[in-house]
Each structure stands twice: as structure tokens, then as C-alpha cells.
């Protein structure tokens, strides 16, 4: 609706000046009103006006029409066989049932405010809004400048636009331009399947699926390549980075990417190379490496309180978890390289990057990759890093800092001790079948912290390019690609291991307290000879005859001190329930609160583990298992956890134990051979003669 005191032309809707406006009322304007009604379908009112330009145009058209009619009537010679052309005429403005916004020059049509500075919305922004929301913006409409991003309306602005009218008035030029824009968009979508440049061509979920990053993080990453990647007419910076990340995330070859992006294979190769070089040069150094983060920041921001409680004490050292990961490669035709890259541990060719990770999963540095032969085991690699002082690691670490490692670093213990580094490593012994209680407890403290580096390696392999076997032509670029992915994790990823500070401190104190205890149930079994005395045990037909305390999921987590054992407990229970119909549980004849069970090993069919659990009416008092780590009291092993989970929790639920799909029914077993049918039997069965 026009504002008070505004006189808008009924034809072009523009505001008219006092000297340029003419009212449409009066007998002298009757022909004008008839022309407006017939041509523009405009029913004029008493207060309607028309501008001088439109009035002259209407009078000119009326005069031409009268002249044409006069000539038609005066013509008496009209040959019947002469073809005449049908001239199709249409009104200059057409009103369509398309929603439209306001057209005020003083008020923002998005937020309906009156700011001091407004900008006229561009034609591209108008067409983009129509394609997305089906709303037309009148000519000359204005909005606040902060609603515009890259020349188009932002997503929030498009969602908050107020509809002022259910109708839109368009002239011939605007209709033709709108149809042309729709045609261009259709051709573009058909020719270019994936477009990283258009802000609305891909959704946020599409960006995550293709590149592993959301739209905001992707745009942030592209800003780091602005100075190194050359943008051309056929390839922008965003498309270059998008192609590179899509290759890493999906693991597709350049040939497949060429089909997906509808560009040549050589263009794909150049885009991947440009993005890799730019990110390795401008992005990685500020997000990865010992020099990008200070030791104090690692202690304050990237260290779990649980790790400080278990290994730091009052000194608060820097705690790093170190491990090597594997990137598999093809078998090389160069024999020396084939020998150096073949791993006797994995029995396949590979290269090894060395990971330095904090206890929250933040990657401090990735060094390498290294060879995989016997001269390049984990200990040798760490020794070479320290002796060569790569990335000035000796200046970064300080005395009493903690390295959490696995058994593969045992040959580095002497060097780390000389540097004053405290080393935490799981116990190992080839002479004994089972660790002592102290060794098992100490190992559990280490594994409670060390698992984070395995999670980081697993997250690294979610980028399928690094999870598949790489061709030997990619070996020169493996180091750059691994570091780029790790830098992306540091910049845009979330911590893998987090926890409440107070809860972590309580859990750490509990684990330290339990680590100093001995397994009293093990000592009792050894003392009373309950290990090999079947006469002291009574096998129970059903587990319902045993009065076992009812446990909640929180109780189970307090006993296992983790969730990994409970995850395996479900699988152990499913196997025993499906194969044998339940656990083989015996109860002690002299102590009704002591049970014995046998658990099938998940690795070897011929191995069974025996375990014992003591309890009272409300709580579990102790446990012992014959597995390698079964003597510990800092949490239970997975075999004990399966019995506790079933006896105290799962058997009271009205649910089945089919937690995972049974795939055995889809495969054949060569170890099973049916009895052959004799010739006589087959003749007897198939003989139908009397």
C-alpha cells in the first residue's frame, strides 16, 4: 500500500512528482480508462494517477489503434488468397500469483527496520531468492548491508523475509530475464554436478559427506590457500580444495573424480597437487608440529586431569602418548625398497608415520613416514628423532615429562632415562602365562590413557585415501597428506577424550588406590586349592538357581572402570547363549557366594578361560580370571565383565541377546561333510518298480 501523500502511477507503480502526475478521472479520460482496463486489466479509481511518460505512451497507442481501425474500414480491396500475419499483443505488466516483498526505499524488506544506510538488492540476489524461496523482490527494493554475503542474501535473511503481498507485477523484460536465469541455472546444474563456489548449491550435510568439513570450516580452510592457489576461469580456490578433500575423504581415483566433477583427469591432478602444496605450506605449520604449540598450552589445555592424577602428581608434567601408525602401499618392483618397506609384523609393505598425541587426542606432531623393516621399529624411530633433535624436540620437552608408550618402545628406555623422561609402558613377559597382580594393575593404568592414540589412528583412517593400499606413485606425498589431515583435526575437530575435572580426579585416585592392592580371591583360590578340585564345585543346570546381586549399568562401569570391557561382554554373552544355551556356571559347595565359570576365547577355539567371582547379597567382592590380565583388581578383564554383565544385569531383562547380525548362515563350512549315500540305499529310495 502506498504511504500517506504518495501518488504512484497505476501503470509503472513509480512515485509521481506534482508537475508530472495526471488524474484518470473525468470524461476527458474515458478513453484512457478503457485502454487501461483492456490492455493492463487495471480498474482505475477516483484517486488514481498516471505519470506523464505512461500517459503519452497510452495516448500514442490509442491513436495508433484508431488509425489502424480506420485503415481497416477504408480498405475495400482485400484478396482472399493473400495470407495475413497474426500479431500477438500482450500487456506491458502482468500480475502473477507469486508472493512479493515490500518495495520501500526507506525500510529494509528483510528486517522491517529503518536504518540509515540501505543497499539496493542486485538482480542476481533477486533471482537467487526466487529460485530458493519462490519470492519476488520488486524493482528498487532495499535492505541492510549485513544481510548480503558474496552478493546474495544470507540464509538467515531468506528465512526471515516478510511477505507483503501474494501478487507480483512483472513487465516483459523482467519475465524474459527471469526465464533466462532459470534456464542458466538448469544448464549449470546439468553441466556442473558439484559446485563448491555457489554458497547454496551444496547443503552443510553435503559438505561434510564430501570433504569431512562443514561449510564454515571449509570456507575457513580455503582462506589459507588464497595466496598459493591460482584461481582461474575454470577452477576456483574453493573447487580446488574441495576436489582435494573429496579425494582424501572418499579415496576415489582421479578417473572417478573426473566423472563426478565433469572435468578432465589432468585438471583433477593439477587441482589436487595445487591444494596439497598450498595446505602443506600455509596451513600445516600453524596447526601441527612441536613449534606450533607451547608445552604450557599442552599441559593446561590438552591434558586430561585423569592423566595428571595417574602419572603427573603435583609436578604437572607434559604427558604425550606416542605410537606409530601404518599406511599400506603396493609391492614395489625395486627389490631394495621392497625389503625396506616390508613389515614382518603386518606381513605386508607399508610406511610408518610416528604420532605424538596428547591425552585428549590433540596431535602435537607427526614425523616421518619411515621404513617398516626391522631397522625401523618404534624404538629405533624414537631414538632417531631424539638424537637428531627433529623439530627441536629436545628443547620442547623437559625433565620429568611423561611418555606413554607400548611395548615396542622398550629399547628406548635407556635413552629416555638419560633425558630424564618418565616412561609409562604396559608390562610384558614371555616366560609367564599370566602377569602378576602388580603388573596387571600397572598395565591397566597405562591402557586407560594410551587408548587415545589408537583412537586418533582410527580417526585418521576414516579418510579413505589413507585406509586403502596406495600406489607407489603416491609415496612422495604420503607425509604431506597425513600432516594435512592431522592439522585439520587439530583446527576443526573435537577432542577425542574429555571428562569432568572433578570426576577424572576421583577416578584417578580410585585407580591409584586399587593398584596398590593384591588380589585376595586369587590368593584364596591358591591357598584352598580351588583351581583343580572339581569335587568342591557343583554345576548349576540353570543360572536362575544362583542368588547373584542385581547390578545397574553404573555399578558395572564402576567395577570395570571403563566401557570397552562391557562392549565385549555383550558379544561374549551372545556367543554363549547362541552356542551352548548359556554359561557353564558352578557354585562352590563350601561357599555359596563363590561361583566358577568357563569362557570361550574370542581368538582361539581350543582355549577356555576359567574365572571366579565372589559376592554377597548386594555387591561383588572380588574376581579372578586365568587369562593374562585376569589377576588385576584395577577393573576387570572382559571375561569377568561378561559374567558380571549377564548374571547381575542382562538376565533380569526381558530382551534377547542378538546384539549383532549372525553372518555364519551366509557362508559354507568346508569342515562339515555329510555322510555319503550308498548305492544300495539310493536304489531302494529311488526304485519305483514293482
pLDDT tens, 555-567?
Answer: 999 999 989 999 9
pLDDT of 86 over the 60 cut: no
Q: Which pLDDT tens digit goes with each residue over 367-378?
A: 999 999 999 999
> Residue 22 gets which letter from DSSP?
E
Q: Kindly report each contact of residues 474-480 with a partner whose C-beta sits within 8 Å and lies 24 or more positions away, as own/partner.
A: 474/329, 475/329, 475/351, 477/276, 478/327, 478/329, 478/351, 478/353, 478/369, 479/353, 479/368, 479/369, 480/276, 480/277, 480/280, 480/284
454: cell is 589408537
Selected residue with higher pLDDT from 263 and 383: 383
**Considering only 450-464, 520-534, 628-642, 651-665, which range has the smallest mean pLDDT?**
651-665
Selected residue with higher pLDDT from 191 and 169: 169
At 257 the three-state DSSP class reads helix
Residue at grid coordinates 564402576: 558
Average pLDDT over residues 252-270: 91
Q: In the chain, which segments carry CATH 3.30.420.10?
A: 295-503
pLDDT of 91 over the 80 cut: no
Average pLDDT over residues 63-72: 74
- Helical H segments across 89-214, by residue range: 123-133, 155-159, 172-191, 204-211
Selected residue with higher pLDDT from 683 and 319: 319
pLDDT value at residue 139:
78
Calculate the alpha carbon distances from 219 to 189, 194, 214, 650, 664 in Å: 21, 16, 9, 48, 47
pLDDT value at residue 19:
81
Concatenated DSSP letters of 567-625: HHHHHHHHHHHHHTSS-EEEEESS-TTEEEEEEE-SS-TT-EEEEEEEE-SSSEEEEEE
- Cα 167 from Cα 95, distance rounded (Å): 6
- Cα 211 from Cα 244, distance rounded (Å): 8
3-state per-residue secondary structure call for 633-688: CCCCCHHHHHHHHHHHCHHHCCCCCCCCCCCHHHCCCCCCCCCCCCHHHHHHHHCC
- Cα 117 from Cα 107, distance rounded (Å): 10
- With a pLDDT cut of 90, the percent of the chain lying above it is 49
For residues 281 and 228, is the Cβ–Cβ distance under 8 A?
yes
Query: Taking the CB of residue 69, how many other CB atoms lie within 10 A of it?
Result: 10
Which residues does residue 625 pair with via DSSP β-bridges, in sequence order?
611
Those residues whose C-beta lies under 8 Å from the C-beta of residue 523, and which sit 6 or more positions away, are: none
- Cα 200 from Cα 198, distance rounded (Å): 6
618: cell is 548386594
pLDDT of 542 over the 80 cut: no
For residues 613 and 622, is the Cβ–Cβ distance under 8 A?
yes
- Cα 305 from Cα 498, distance rounded (Å): 9
Burial 313-345 (b: 16+ CB within 10 A, else e): eeeebbbbbbbbbbbbbeebeeeebeebbbbee
Which residues does residue 600 pair with via DSSP β-bridges, in sequence order?
608
Backbone angles phi, psi at 170, to 5 degrees: -125, 140
Q: Give the H/E segment covering residue 521.
A: helix 520-528
Q: What is the band of 164 on the pLDDT scale with cuts at 50, 70, 90?
A: confident
Burial 249-278 (b: 16+ CB within 10 A, else e): bbebebeebbebbebeeebbeebbebbbeb
- Cα 261 from Cα 66, distance rounded (Å): 60
Backbone angles phi, psi at 676, to 5 degrees: -65, 150
User: Among candidates 581, 559, 577, 528, which has minimal Cα distance to 640?
Assistant: 559
For residues 322 and 355, is the Cβ–Cβ distance under 8 A?
yes
Assigned superfamily of 295-503: Ribonuclease H-like superfamily/Ribonuclease H (3.30.420.10)
Residue positions counted in the chain: 690
**Could you give the angle at the alpha carbon of 677 between the alpha carbons of 673 and 678, nearest 5°?**
135
CA 97 to chain centre: 42
At 348 the three-state DSSP class reads strand
For residues 321 and 353, is the Cβ–Cβ distance under 8 A?
no
User: Among candidates 421, 416, 420, 346, which has minimal Cα distance to 377?
Assistant: 346
- Helical H segments across 283-334, by residue range: 295-301, 305-307
- Cα 160 from Cα 178, distance rounded (Å): 23
pLDDT of 87 over the 60 cut: no
- Cα 183 from Cα 295, distance rounded (Å): 58
Question: For the chain, how far is it from start to end, CA to CA, in angstroms?
Answer: 104
pLDDT value at residue 149:
82
For residues 424 and 453, is the Cβ–Cβ distance under 8 A?
no
Q: Which pLDDT tens digit goes with each residue over 130-150?
A: 888 888 888 778 888 888 887
- Cα 229 from Cα 271, distance rounded (Å): 9
For residues 169 and 91, is the Cβ–Cβ distance under 8 A?
no
pLDDT of 92 over the 80 cut: no
pLDDT value at residue 685:
47
For residues 92 and 40, is the Cβ–Cβ distance under 8 A?
yes
Question: What beta strand segments (E) does 77-130 contain?
Answer: 93-96, 119-120
82: cell is 493473400
Calculate the alpha carbon distances from 338 to 326, 457, 485, 508 in Å: 16, 24, 27, 46
Which residues does residue 611 pair with via DSSP β-bridges, in sequence order?
597, 625
pLDDT of 667 over the 70 cut: yes
pLDDT value at residue 688:
43
Q: What is the band of 658 on the pLDDT scale with cuts at 50, 70, 90?
A: low
pLDDT value at residue 73:
62
pLDDT value at residue 689:
43
188: cell is 549449470
Strands 348-357 and 363-370: antiparallel
Q: What is the band of 679 on the pLDDT scale with cuts at 50, 70, 90?
A: low
Q: Which pLDDT tens digit goes with each residue over 506-535?
A: 999 999 999 999 999 999 998 888 887 788
Q: What is the band of 686 on the pLDDT scale with cuts at 50, 70, 90?
A: very low
- Cα 237 from Cα 419, distance rounded (Å): 46
Q: What is the pTM of this model?
A: 0.73
Amino acid at each position: 500500500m502506498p504511504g500517506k501523500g504518495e501518488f504512484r502511477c497505476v501503470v509503472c507503480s513509480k512515485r509521481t512528482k506534482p508537475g508530472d502526475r495526471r488524474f484518470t478521472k473525468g470524461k476527458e479520460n474515458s478513453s484512457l480508462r478503457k485502454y487501461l482496463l483492456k490492455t493492463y486489466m487495471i480498474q482505475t479509481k477516483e484517486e488514481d494517477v498516471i505519470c506523464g511518460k505512461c500517459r503519452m505512451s497510452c495516448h500514442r497507442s490509442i491513436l495508433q489503434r484508431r488509425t489502424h481501425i480506420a485503415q481497416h474500414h477504408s480498405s475495400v480491396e482485400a484478396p482472399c488468397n493473400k495470407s495475413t500475419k497474426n500479431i500477438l499483443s500482450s500487456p506491458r505488466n502482468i500480475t502473477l500469483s507469486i508472493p512479493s516483498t515490500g518495495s520501500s526505499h526507506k525500510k529494509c524488506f528483510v528486517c522491517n527496520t529503518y536504518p540509515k544506510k540501505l543497499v539496493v538488492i542486485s538482480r542476481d540476489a533477486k533471482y537467487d531468492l526466487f529460485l530458493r524461496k519462490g519470492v519476488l523482490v520488486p524493482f528498487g527494493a532495499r535492505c541492510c548491508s549485513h544481510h548480503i554475503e558474496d552478493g546474495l542474501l544470507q540464509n538467515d535473511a531468506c528465512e526471515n523475509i516478510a511477505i507483503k503481498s501474494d501478487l507480483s507485477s512483472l513487465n516483459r523484460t523482467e519475465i524474459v530475464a527471469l526465464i533466462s536465469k532459470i534456464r542458466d541455472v538448469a544448464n549449470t546444474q546439468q553441466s556442473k554436478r558439484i559446485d563448491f563456489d555457489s554458497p547454496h548449491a551444496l547443503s552443510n550435510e553435503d559438505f561434510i559427506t564430501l570433504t569431512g568439513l562443514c561449510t564454515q570450516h571449509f570456507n575457513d580452510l580455503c582462506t589459507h590457500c588464497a595466496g598459493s592457489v591460482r584461481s582461474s576461469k575454470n577452477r576456483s580456490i574453493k573447487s580446488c580444495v574441495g576436489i582435494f578433500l573429496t579425494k582424501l575423504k572418499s579415496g576415489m581415483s582421479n578417473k572417478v573424480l573426473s566423472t563426478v566433477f565433469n572435468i578432465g583427469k589432468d585438471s583433477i591432478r593439477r587441482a589436487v597437487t595445487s591444494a596439497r602444496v598450498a595446505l602443506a605450506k600455509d596451513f600445516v605449520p600453524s596447526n601441527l608440529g612441536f613449534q606450533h604449540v607451547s608445552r604450557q598450552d599442552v599441559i593446561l589445555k590438552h591434558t586430561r586431569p585423569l592423566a595428571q592424577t595417574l602419572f603427573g602428581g603435583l609436578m604437572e608434567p607434559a604427558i604425550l602418548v606416542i605410537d606409530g601408525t601404518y599406511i599400506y602401499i603396493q609391492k614395489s618392483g625395486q627389490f631394495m625398497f621392497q625389503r625396506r618397506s616390508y613389515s614382518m609384523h603386518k606381513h605386508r609393505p607399508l610406511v610408518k608415520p610416528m604420532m605424538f598425541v596428547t591425552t585428549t587426542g590433540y596431535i602435537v606432531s607427526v614425523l616421518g613416514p619411515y621404513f617398516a623393516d626391522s631397522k625401523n621399529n618404534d624404538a629405533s624411530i624414537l631414538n632417531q628423532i631424539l638424537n637428531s633433535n627433529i623439530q627441536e624436540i629436545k628443547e620442547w620437552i623437559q625433565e620429568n615429562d611423561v611418555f606413554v608408550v607400548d611395548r615396542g618402545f622398550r629399547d628406548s628406555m635407556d635413552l629416555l632415562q638419560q633425558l630424564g623422561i618418565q616412561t609409562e609402558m604396559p608390562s610384558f613377559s614371555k616366560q609367564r602365562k599370566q602377569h602378576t597382580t602388580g603388573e596387571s594393575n600397572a598395565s591397566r593404568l597405562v591402557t586407560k590413557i594410551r587408548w587415545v592414540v589408537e583412537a586418533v589412528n582410527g580417526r585418521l583412517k576414516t579418510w579413505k585415501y589413507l585406509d586403502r593400499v596406495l600406489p607407489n606413485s603416491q609415496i612422495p606425498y604420503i607425509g604431506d597428506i597425513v600432516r594435512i589431515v592431522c592439522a585439520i583435526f587439530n583446527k576443526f575437530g573435537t577432542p577425542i577424550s574429555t571428562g569432568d575435572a572433578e570426576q577424572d580426579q576421583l577416578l584417578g585416585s580410585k585407580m591409584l588406590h586399587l593398584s596398590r592392592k593384591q588380589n585376595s580371591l586369587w590368593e584364596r583360590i591358591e591357598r584352598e586349592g580351588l583351581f583343580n578340585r572339581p569335587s568342591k564345585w557343583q554345576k548349576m543346570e540353570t543360572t536362575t538357581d544362583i542368588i547373584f546381586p542385581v547390578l545397574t549399568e553404573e555399578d558395572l562401569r564402576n567395577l570395570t572402570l571403563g566401557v570397552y570391557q562391557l562392549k565385549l561382554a555383550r558379544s561374549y554373552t551372545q556367543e554363549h547363549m547362541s552356542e551352548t544355551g548359556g554359561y557353564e556356571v558352578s557354585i562352590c559347595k563350601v561357599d555359596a557366594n563363590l561361583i566358577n565359570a568357563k569362557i570361550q576365547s574370542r581368538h582361539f577355539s581350543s582355549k577356555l578361560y576359567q574365572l571366579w567371582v565372589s559376592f554377597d547379597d548386594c555387591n561383588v567382592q572380588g574376581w579372578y580370571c586365568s587369562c593374562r590380565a585376569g589377576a588385576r583388581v584395577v577393573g576387570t578383564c572382559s571375561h569377568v565383565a561378561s559374567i558380571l554383565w549377564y548374571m547381575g544385569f542382562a538376565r533380569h531383562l526381558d530382551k534377547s541377546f542378538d546384539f549383532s547380525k549372525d553372518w555364519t548362515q551366509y557362508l559354507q563350512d568346508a569342515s562339515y561333510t555329510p555322510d555319503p549315500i550308498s548305492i544300495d540305499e539310493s536304489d531302494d529310495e529311488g526304485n519305483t518298480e514293482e
